[in-house]
Chain A
Amino acid sequence: MAQILVKEVLTPQIKLMVVEAPRVAKKAKPGQFVVIRFHEQGERIPLTIADYDPDAGTVTIIFQEVGKSTLHLGEMEEGDEILDFVGPLGREIEERQFGHVVCVGGGVGIAPIYPKARALSMLGNRVTSIIGARTADLIFWEREMRSVSDELHVTTDDGTYGEKGFVTQVLERVVKEEQVDLVVAVGPLIMMKMVSLLTKKFSIPTLVSLNPIMVDGTGMCGCCRGTVNKECKFTCVDGPVFDGHQVDYDELMARQRTYLDEEQRAMEIWRMKKVEEEPTRVTR
């Protein structure tokens, strides 16, 4: 059981929770994640450890409401208990001096890029960060990202905030103008694919953090597998961070769509249940 100590609504669809989990907080490293389950009939979902405080014994998670489980989690309040909060899982990213590092965070990927940018910056790397989302409403943690970056760029696909366009457009400019020693990218698979294609052209080492569907998160089911450097890898134990130039993104994108029909059905049932539970608001 892990109690929710703080809940913040970062944007209408993105929520932050600070959770009491002393064991996880003590061991957490940038790049790692937790698997959580919050009710008896619930599924196990992976979420990145966005921040952690070993002294306070707390872990911060940030999630976007995309389906039944994340919508349900979003309704939980401060004081509520998360039934299972397992972690930290996965391997941490290598922390060392690379030189100039560009951190790219797309959508909810801004959350997991933050601890990585912070760790890299504290080790004396020069950090340029690029964060982007579909629209202004989905941008969050701009201040936090700025505090751990030497330079910060913000983009939105529709131009409602920051620069109009994709993160890759800014990245291309940066790598053309400056010496870049490492790119770290977290976001939707398609974004990580585009970033990797670009950096490959410029021969810049690139790390990405994959986000396949998972069950256990400990290497016993193989649900999270993908092809990296022509080998079958389990994201939960071999990753989630991999060499971006070696990842078969198309295969992972197909795998992520495995349960599309079921996910939609679950979400519709959840929404209908919500409507039934709040008759007054609906009839008025």
Chain B
Amino acid sequence: MSQDKFKGRPKMPQRPVRERIRDFDEVPTGLEEWAAVEEARRCLQCKRPLCMRGCPVEIDIPAFIALIAEGKFDQAVQKMKEKNSLPAICGRVCPQEEQCERECVLGKKGEPIAVGYIERFIADYERDRGVRTPSRSSPNGKKIAVIGAGPAGLTCAGDLAKMGYGVTLFEAFHAPGGVLVYGIPEFRLPKSIVFGEVDYVRSLGVELELSTVIGRSVTVDDLAEEGFGAFFIGTGAGLPYFMELPGENMNGIYSANEFLTRSNLMKGYRFPEYDTPIKIGRRVAVIGGGNVAMDSARTAVRLGADEVCLVYRRTKNEMPARVEEVERAEEEGINCIILTNPVRFLGNQNGWVTGIECIEMELGEPDESGRRRPVPIEGSEYVIPIDTVVVAIGQGPNPLLLETMPDLTLNRRGYIETDPETGATSRRGMFAGGDIVTGAATGISAMGAGKQAARSIDRFFQDPDTFPQWR
């Protein structure tokens, strides 16, 4: 596309399908400088910017966009980082179309400003030139333990370190990043970017203790004895749900967590250079319709499957995955089998899965979530022959740590209850945020929760006596 022909919202340049499905490199390549500036100029600089209402961390969107329109990229970075310390990640994986961009006034009539693309541009601009470490307050001698190095924990740790707290970030895995590293594939979010952001957080003075499972290797009570005066729990929603159907434990049936962890974190796609194997059949079925399902299906394509299909019980309209990702998945040849639900798995004598018996569904009355409830059509059962299945129907809270704190108030579904104002839990001095509070949500909402908790923890230390007790 040449510069003069450019009109309206830019399209994200991306690698051609035939090339990209052969490797795990990033698919979208990012806006060029001129395109980002051009798009920034299209922003109306609203007095009452609606876009900001859609951003969970309240980034001053018109302000940073104005700086980009003027070519003041360094200042734009600063503006952005006032609210969002991980812009390279948000610019890539934020569901912008449901957040800032959905609210943008230009979207009411035409096309909303491509806030996410611009955000990614400015973050990449900074990364290419070396990230500057901001100044931080002098150490105040107070120790805080942050549990879980996902977006919630990283944000909380970074913010507290900037305020001068001594922060130790504990992570069960051997690598920091949470879902950003073990779940979201390289082709959507390069790991070097996540590790770049982690390095930034460490440069603020955060100590990182990897391979430490809180609740097993050490408990919260032990840490309190070691002198940690406050806690933030950001352990995510990492417990994979299965469908509890006959045959589900057969060989060749993976939870999405296992499939993605083997591929992403353990680099199974580079076996035998890396030791962790991953098995991929000729015909793969992924069950589900969210981001996790799309990531699994697109990973399966890249691992060399001949045919990959998604089995989803509602229609494409109800799919929780980002529209952009569904489009990319379809471009890559993934076939969506909608209004279909598995009833059991079929296998061979050696215990390997060979097919899924499915039943067709139709949409009935709306359920609690407002989506029309799928109802099975009796007698419509049929078999889809496959040799690998990835179950991506959702995740829940991992009870490993929570079990060790019986005094912590959980909700009916096992997530931690917190004060919506502060992120405080029922246990004094303990805060929580991210997926372990909300259930599987988004990276940016986890970051927002980490930020809120950092502010509250600071308040708690300033004046513990007046800090409101939650429940």
Evaluate contact between B351 and A220: CB separation under 8 angstroms.
Answer: no
- Provide the bound-state CA to CA distance between A58 and B216, in Å: 16
Among A83-91, A170-178, A179-187, the one that faces the other chain is A83-91
Interchain CB contact under 8 A, A220 and B239: yes
- For chain B, the count of residues having a C-beta within 8 Å of the partner chain is 42
A159 to chain B, nearest CB (A): 33
A43–B255 alpha-carbon span in the complex (Å): 18
Residues in chain B near residue A44, CB distance under 8 A: 174, 266, 276
Q: Which partner residue on chain A sits nearest B391 by CB separation? A: A222
Contacts of A262 in B (CB 8 A): 271-272, 277, 279
The digit string for B246-282, where 1 denotes a CB below 8 A from any CB of A, is: 0011111011011001100011000111111101000
Does A257 count as interface, using CB distance less than 8 angstroms?
A: yes
Q: A183-207, CB under 8 A of B: which get 1 and which 0?
A: 0000000000000000000000000
Q: Which of A41, A87, A225, A251 contacts B274 (CB 8 A)?
A: A41
- Residue B460 at the chain A interface, CB threshold 8 Å: no
**Per-position contact with B for A215-233: 1 when CB-CB < 8 Å, else 0?**
1101111110111000010
Q: Evaluate whether A254 and B250 lie within 8 angstroms (CB atoms) in the complex, with A86-B217, A265-B272 already known.
A: yes
With CB as the reference atom, state the residue of chain B lying closest to A42.
B275
- Flag if A84 contacts B211 (CB, 8 Å): yes
- If A87-B216, A232-B244 touch, does A43 touch B251 (CB 8 Å cutoff)? no
- Shortest distance between the CB of A274 and any CB in chain B (Å): 15
Candidate in A89, A218, A222, A266 with the most chain B CB atoms within 10 angstroms: A222
Q: In the assembled complex, how far is the CB of residue A237 from the closest CB belonging to chain B, in whole angstroms?
A: 6
Query: Please, how many angstroms separate the alpha-carbon atoms of A255 and B353 in the complex?
Result: 11
B213 close to chain A: CB less than 8 A: yes
Residues of A within 8 A of B276 (CB): 43-44, 215
Contact of A218 with B400 in the complex, beta carbons under 8 Å:
yes
Across-interface contacts of B238 in A (CB, < 8 A): 219-220
Q: Mark A41-80, 1 if CB is under 8 A from B, else 0.
A: 1111000000000000000000000001100000000000
Answer yes or no: A23 CB below 8 A from chain B CBs.
yes
CA separation between A221 and B262, bound complex, in Å? 9
Contact at B258–A223, with CB atoms within 8 Å?
A: yes
With both beta carbons as reference points, the residue of chain B lying nearest to A222 in the complex is identified as B255
A41 vs B270: C-alpha distance when bound (angstroms): 9
A24-B217, A86-B213, A89-B216 known; A232+B242 contact, CB < 8 A: yes
In the assembled complex, which residues on chain A have CB atoms less than 8 Å from the CB atom of B277?
259, 262-263, 266
Q: A220 contacts B217, CB within 8 Å?
A: no
Set A23, A220, A223: member contacting B218, Cβ < 8 A? A23
Most chain A CB within 10 A, of B262, B266, B277, B352, is at B277
Q: Which residues of B contact A283 (CB under 8 A)?
A: none
Query: Which residues of chain B are near A266, meaning CB under 8 Å?
Result: 271-272, 275, 277
CB of B240 within 8 A of CB of A220, answer yes
With both chains docked as a complex, state the minimum distance between the C-beta of A230 and any C-beta of chain B, in angstroms: 11
Assess the B218–A27 pair: CB atoms within 8 A.
yes
Which one of A23, A69, A215 contacts B266 once the chains associate, using CB atoms below 8 Å?
A215
Instruction: Evaluate contact between A221 and B275: CB separation under 8 angstroms.
Output: no
Contact B266 A43 (CB under 8 A): yes
Residues of A within 8 A of B262 (CB): 215
Look across to chain B and name the residue whose beta carbon is closest to the beta carbon of A221. Answer: B258
**Chain A contacts of B266 at CB under 8 A?**
43-44, 215
**Interface status of B210 (Cβ within 8 A of chain A):** yes
Most chain B CB within 10 A, of A83, A216, A262, A265, is at A216
Please indicate the chain A residues that have their CB under 8 angstroms from the CB of B212 in the complex: 23, 86
Q: Which of B242, B273, B352, B399 contacts A222 (CB 8 A)?
A: B242
Query: Whole-angstrom distance between the alpha carbons of A44 and B359 in the complex?
Result: 38
In the assembled complex, the CB of A72 is this many whole angstroms from the nearest CB of chain B, namely: 8
Which of B211, B267, B275, B351 lies at the interface centre, i.e. has the most chain A CB atoms within 10 A of its CB?
A: B275
Interface size on A, residues (CB 8 A): 42
A269 at the binding interface (Cβ < 8 Å): yes
Among B211, B213, B239, B251, point to the contact of A254 (Cβ < 8 A).
Answer: B251
**Please, which residue of chain B has its CB at the minimum distance from the CB of A220?**
B238
The interface residues of chain A lying within 8 Å CB-to-CB of B211 are 84-86
In the complex, residue of chain B having the shortest beta-carbon distance to the beta carbon of A39: B275
Task: State whether the Cβ of A258 lies closer than 8 Å to any Cβ in chain B.
Answer: yes
CA A262 to CA B399, docked complex, whole Å: 33
Decide: A269 near B217, CB < 8 A? Known: A220-B238, A221-B261, A222-B240.
Answer: no
Instruction: From known contacts A43-B266, A266-B277, infer whether A227 and B272 are also in contact, taking CB-CB under 8 Å.
Output: no
A221 CB to closest chain B CB (Å) equals: 4
A266 to chain B, nearest CB (A): 5
- Asked whether, in the complex, the Cβ of B279 is within 8 Å of the Cβ of A258, the reply is yes
A71 to chain B, nearest CB (A): 11
Chain A residues lying within 8 Å of B400, measured Cβ to Cβ, are 218-219, 237
Write the chain A residue with the least CB distance to B267.
Answer: A41
- Chain B residues within 8 Å of A86, by CB: 172, 174, 211-213, 217
Minimum C-beta distance from B233 to chain A (A): 15
Q: Is residue B173 within 8 Å, beta carbon to beta carbon, of the partner chain?
A: yes
When the two chains form their complex, are residues A251 and B398 in contact, meaning their CB atoms are under 8 A apart? no
From residue B224, how far is it (CB to closest CB) to chain A in Å?
A: 16
B279 neighbours in A (Cβ, 8 Å)? 258-259, 262
Q: Verify A257–B251 contact, CB threshold 8 A.
A: yes
Q: A222-B255, A232-B242, A266-B277 are in contact. Are A215 and B261 (CB under 8 A)?
A: yes
Q: A44–B277 Cα gap in the complex (Å)?
A: 11
Within 8 A of B (CB), among A251-284: 251, 254-255, 257-259, 262-263, 265-266, 269
What are some 22 contacts across the A-B interface (CB < 8 A)?
A: A27-B218, A41-B275, A43-B266, A43-B274, A43-B275, A85-B211, A86-B174, A88-B216, A89-B213, A218-B216, A218-B398, A219-B399, A220-B239, A221-B240, A221-B255, A227-B249, A232-B248, A255-B351, A258-B251, A262-B271, A262-B272, A265-B272
Cβ-closest 6 pairs across A and B: A254-B351, A262-B277, A221-B258, A43-B275, A220-B238, A222-B255
Query: Which residues of B are in contact with A by a Cβ distance under 8 Å?
Result: 172-174, 210-213, 216-218, 238-240, 242, 244, 248-252, 254-255, 257-258, 261-262, 266-267, 271-277, 279, 350-352, 398-400
> Beyond A221-B258, A232-B242: 12 further Cβ-contacts under 8 Å?
A27-B217, A89-B213, A215-B258, A215-B261, A220-B239, A220-B261, A255-B351, A257-B251, A257-B351, A262-B271, A265-B272, A269-B272
